[in-house]
Amino acid sequence: MTGKNKQKLVVIGNGMAGISTVEQIIKLGGAYDITVFGSEPHPNYNRIMLSYVLEGSKTLDDIVLNDWNWYKDNDITLHTGTTVTKIDEENKVVVAENGLAVPYDRVIIATGSNPFILPVPGSDKEGVVGFRDIADCNQMLAAAKKYKKAAVIGGGLLGLEAAKGLVNLGMDVTVVHLMNDLMERQLDHNASAMLQAELERQGIKFAMGKQTVALLGGDRVTGLRFNDGTELEAGFVVMAVGIKPNVAVAKASGIEVNRGIVVNDNLQTSMENVYAVGECDEHRGVCYGLVAPLFEQGMVLAKHLCGVDTLPYEGSVVSTKLKISGVDVFSAGEFIEGSEHTVIAAKDEWKKTYKKILLKNNVIVGAVLFGDVTESAALQKLIKQEAQMTDEIYATVMGTGCCGAGAKKGTSVESMADEEIVCGCNGVTKKTIVDAVMVQGLTTVDEIKACTGATRSCGGCKPVVEQILQYVLGDGFKSASKQGICGCTTHSRDEIVAEIRAKGLRTIGEVMNVLEWSQPEGCSKCRPAINYYLGMIYPETYEDEKESRFVNERMNANIQKDGTYTVVPRMYGGVTTVEDLKRIADVSLKYDVKVVKVTGGQRLALIGVKKEDVPKVWEELDMPSGYAYAKSLRTVKTCVGSTFCRFGTQDSMGIGALIEKKFERLDLPAKFKIAVNGCPRNCAESCTKDIGIVGNDGGWEIFIGGNGGIKARIADAFCKVKTDEELFEICGAVIQYYRETGKYLERTSEWVERVGLDDIKKTILEDHDQRKALVERIEVALQQVEEPWKKVLNDKQVLRAMFQSTSPAAAE
């Protein structure tokens, strides 16, 4: 058809349900002139990833599924920030709140759902929000900067994601839940208890069995009151007690509505040529609040609208997957056992895994998995098929068989239907993945991710994608699907380093050529990694390749979202001088710096420097860089220690400055932070640093592997030393061992868990020859990064004397 002859399709809702249906229509070659209305001022984004935006690991741009250009490239008219109020059946137009009227031949209502707000006194106070869109995220991000304590009402999937995000923002968060088990609609008691224990370890508090009867405060919320008379302080409250279908436009248009918009097996409403898809609809009396059903509905609807033969939509097997900060949970079908069930269960408290399958008359009717969800897709399929349990199925899903070995992988995906959804976050089917392997010759999970989007979001479907790869590639799977440091190579970090050493490879180009990179120039992931490994192996001869570093490192400043940069000068141990402060103020005024902020690392950040001004700002500051942009030592945080504090037992400021001057500028696998405390009161927060140092009357205690970021981790106690010399030696050995064995971009919190604390202790504390060799190698590396102005500061006494004015004890 020509553009004039195309039927007009209007989609009300720019979310995942509506746009995934549009994507399927485009793939099927549907001849429609498409107009999309969205109430939000954004293109289509992945709501499942909102928790990642909240915790700070992703931005809105990172979770956009279809950018502005996608609509333009597919000739789709998009009206953002525009809410539809009515479908005028008589005149066949869709009417928006701004008066815009768009004619239609067919309409898809995909308005999603709204958060359910508890009808309790105070629910309309300032500081009470739901958690459904980017606007809610922005409110939560703003609240985290002003308020310390937050409450999340609701212990379901959404509430737990919100809680974890707020904890990562530094808030003290309590999840308030009416029931005694978390996610009680998806998990049994055992899985719920394991989930709660893990989330408590990650910093979330819980108030279980509590019914909120009022929100306290004046104009703004200050707390919650429960039905037992107890109260909880909170300056911010997130309502995550459930959702309700958004049926406003259907009601206003005279379309049949029950709890949701009533649809038949073709997803058609009571109004001719008007359809509904996703969380807003009700099919056979069921409203679905999960992602997989909306993709299944969208595929049926797209085929129906394109005249392609398809089976009707007969409902979905409800399943839930939770992946939050490393916690994997899955449930499908029936999960609470009764007298009519046969229960197959296995619980491993050491590996923190739990698996339960429920049978009814030997038919598989439900399952719960915790910790290891590899068999989730297989179980979901078996439940949907109402399959009979057999010895073969038992061996496959329970991981048993001959000599305890697991059943042959791939059998579960072999029986999957082509249109079955593998990646619920992005609506990727088995057929899409199989076609990517067979037609495009893809052989790795990374390649499939880049091509189809599968595993791009939460990553929970990765085991199934790997099984499909194995099923399609057969004997060629092992070598073809081996994962390297990026999609350009199948070589791991250890293999690359070993080959560089064994073959004497000296440049990035040599490494890629000899190791047969699939992309001759590499990518933004592998080039910085190889650049680091070469510099670590050959500190005296390797010439750093600046163009292979990230933009922040090339600019010596951190790029911000508006294109300006943040410049952070070094302040050793958090101590500065009047002269340096004046210089910072003068430069900030001269170059119109937007904000001067005290950072968490006890420094001043000059935020909002124009790109062209960055070199001039550094020149006029005439201060060493704080390396806030680099994979190196960022900060050494200190308390005032014995110099000023009545509790201090050690000179934390002096030692902190010495350590910072000692190890600054040295390239490391990832950013690195140290803290030095003058006493065990831990004011400098050593417990969340890569190296934490705590002073006591007898010397120093050293901790390693702490992290206060996205993957929070309390540091492990490493050793105690009596002298400053021992302290420097141990710190140097730890840093060098991390340099030599850490993966690029791997923080010490991950490194300690991967390598093992016992191994690190054995290498550094027990093997004195090894420790001596590590210290010698780091000294060689440090000599290569010294600048002329720094050479005069090598003497310990000179360094201590620098702090005499503020730290008399440091000069002793």
Residue list, annotated binding site for siroheme: 683
Amino acid, res. 173: V
Q: Return the H-helix or E-strand segment holding 197.
A: helix 189-201
- C-alpha angle 664/669/675, rounded to 5°? 50
Structure tokens at 559: 């790029």
Task: Give the HSE-up count for residue 201: Cα atoms under 13 Å, Cβ half-sphere.
Answer: 13
C-alpha atoms less than 13 angstroms from C-alpha of 194 in its C-beta half-sphere:
22
Under 8 Å between Cβ of 364 and 387:
yes
Residue pair 6/31 in contact by the 8 Å Cβ criterion? yes
List the binding residues: 639, 645, 679, 683
Complete DSSP assignment for 627-642? -TTSSSEEEEEE--HH
What's the rounded Cα separation, in Å, for the pair 694 and 717? Answer: 10
Q: Which of 486, 94, 95, 617 is nearest to 607 (CA)?
A: 617
- Tell me which residue of 373, 459, 755, 536 sits closest to 544, measured CA to CA: 536
- CA-closest candidate to residue 585, choices 637, 556, 620, 619: 620
List binding-site positions for [4Fe-4S] cluster.
639, 645, 679, 683
> Are residues 632 and 666 in contact, defined by beta-carbon separation less than 8 angstroms?
yes
* CA within 13 Å, CB half, 217: 20
In whole angstroms, what is the distance from residue 107 CA to residue 348 CA?
Answer: 51
Give the chain's radius of gyration (CA, Å).
30
Strands 327-333 and 319-324: antiparallel
Among the listed residues 450, 431, 429, the one whose alpha carbon sits nearest the alpha carbon of residue 518: 450
DSSP conformation class of 476: G
- Tokens 């394109």 label which residue? 306
User: Tokens standing for 275?
Assistant: 């359809």
Nearest of 557, 700, 692, 697 to residue 636 by alpha carbon: 692
Tokens 């969205």 — which residue?
38
State the Cα angle at 725 between 720 and 729, rounded to 5°.
75
> Angle at Cα 571 formed by Cα 566 and Cα 576, nearest 5°?
120
Q: Other CB atoms closer than 10 Å to residue 416's CB: what's the count?
A: 22
Residue 582 CB neighbour total at 10 angstroms: 10
Q: Which of helix, strand or coil describes residue 447?
A: helix
Neighbouring residues of 775: CB distance < 8 A, sequence distance ≥ 6 = 729, 732, 733, 736
Cα dihedral 392/393/399/405 (nearest 10) = 10
- Nearest CA to 428 out of 412, 441, 416 is that of 416
CA–CA separation, 585 and 577 (whole Å): 12
Residue with tokens 């995942």: 16
Transcribe 673-713 into DSSP letters.
Answer: EEEEESSTT-TT-GGGSSEEEEEETTEEEEEE--B-SSS-B
Shortest CA distance to 583 belongs to which of 635, 624, 612, 548?
624
